[in-house]
Amino acid sequence: MIDVAPKEKRPPPAAKRAAKSSTKTMPAAPVFDIEAEVLPQAIVDASYHSGDYPYGKRMKRKRYDRELEPLQIELQKLLSWVRETGERIVIVFEGRDGAGKGGTIGRFTQHLNPRQARVVALSKPSDIEQGQWYFQRYAAQMPTAGEIVFFDRSWYNRAGVEAVMGFCTPQQTDALLREAPAFEGMLARDGIRLIKLFLTIGREMQMTRLHARWHDPLKRWKLSPIDFEAIPRYDAYSQAFEQMLAKTSSDWAPWHVLRANDKLRARLSAIRLVLDAIPYAGKDEAALGEIDRKIMLSAEDYLDKGGER
């Protein structure tokens, strides 16, 4: 092993165990060792296509830059409309560890005024918050008139990481799954526009991204001890997420599932979805282009295709 961190910050044993892989892409199951300097070639070769990703090649950076600029101009129009009309918009980003939630949010907010476009990424609840109504600390972060709020993870923590890691009881998870649509219905009836995005990546792509984070001193801060459990618990997360999508996608707050193996395609698709969903003034349909339905799916279509295993 390479000495890449102090002893107290080393990944737990789960990050070094053999990771079971999909038989569609990897007949064997190479050992995933996050501390190894190089990943097994079988993982690298399978990563882009893992999870039945529909594209054979990555999007070219030049094409991405060419398509991103007009979309970010449209985001400026959207924010101006929100400010002038007093609209309130909430965009929820959930997904697997390493799926690119933060990077996607960053492309939304890159040129937006932070006084009207705010990112919320809450840490674990305090002792006081643990004694409150579960949704209370999230309700406190809802937008005021003329504001967009981006949730980098949300109240759905209880349906994902908390459920898989045993940080809550099954009864608490069941309550969340039952009450989240009601909570979101309250927001919608009060006039908040709510868009929910779930980013997913294949097993080998997750291995590749978490490995890259561990070996990049500028990105290692993104990893927590919980992230090291993502690979050995991949199937458990799949089951938890599929239950979440099935039970909390509603007419007033549907889930949109984004296959994010290609970060560039994912970012463009996420921005297009939001711009398409909101009737802001001066919308340029030609600049928006088409939402890529190969990678942007409804919760129903995603589950019908078997989810991500």
Q: Give mean pLDDT, residues 112-129.
A: 96
Element housing 201 (H / E): none
Q: Decide: helix, strand or coil at residue 260.
A: coil
Q: Give mean pLDDT, residues 4-33.
A: 53
Cβ neighbour number for residue 284 with a 10 Å cutoff: 12
What's domain 13-55+84-278+287-304's superfamily in CATH?
P-loop containing nucleotide triphosphate hydrolases (3.40.50.300)
Predicted confidence at residue 223, as pLDDT, reads 84
Q: Which residue stretches of 100-198 are H helix?
A: 101-109, 127-130, 136-139, 161-165, 170-189
Please provide the DSSP assignment of 15-47 as one string: GGSBPP--TTT-SS--B--TTSSS--HHHHHHH
Percent of the chain with pLDDT over 70: 90
Predicted confidence at residue 1, as pLDDT, reads 34
The alpha carbon of 242 is separated from its chain's Cα centroid by a whole number of angstroms, namely: 14
Predicted confidence at residue 35, as pLDDT, reads 86
Predicted confidence at residue 6, as pLDDT, reads 35
| pLDDT tens digits, 241-281 | 999 999 999 999 999 999 999 999 999 999 999 999 999 99
pLDDT surpasses 70 at 12: no
Say if CB 108 and CB 206 are below 8 A apart: no
| pLDDT tens digits, 46-97 | 999 999 999 999 999 999 999 999 999 999 999 999 999 999 999 999 999 9
| pLDDT tens digits, 212-242 | 999 999 888 888 888 888 999 999 999 999 9
Please, which residues have CB within 8 angstroms of residue 10's CB and are 6 or more apart in sequence?
A: 35
State the Rg of the chain over Cα: 20
Predicted confidence at residue 5, as pLDDT, reads 39
User: In terms of pLDDT, which residue wins out, 37 or 9?
Assistant: 37
Say if CB 255 and CB 196 are below 8 A apart: yes
| pLDDT tens digits, 170-213 | 999 999 999 999 999 999 999 999 999 999 999 999 999 999 99
Predicted confidence at residue 227, as pLDDT, reads 84
Predicted confidence at residue 226, as pLDDT, reads 84
pLDDT surpasses 50 at 131: yes
Structural domain spans, the chain = 13-55+84-278+287-304
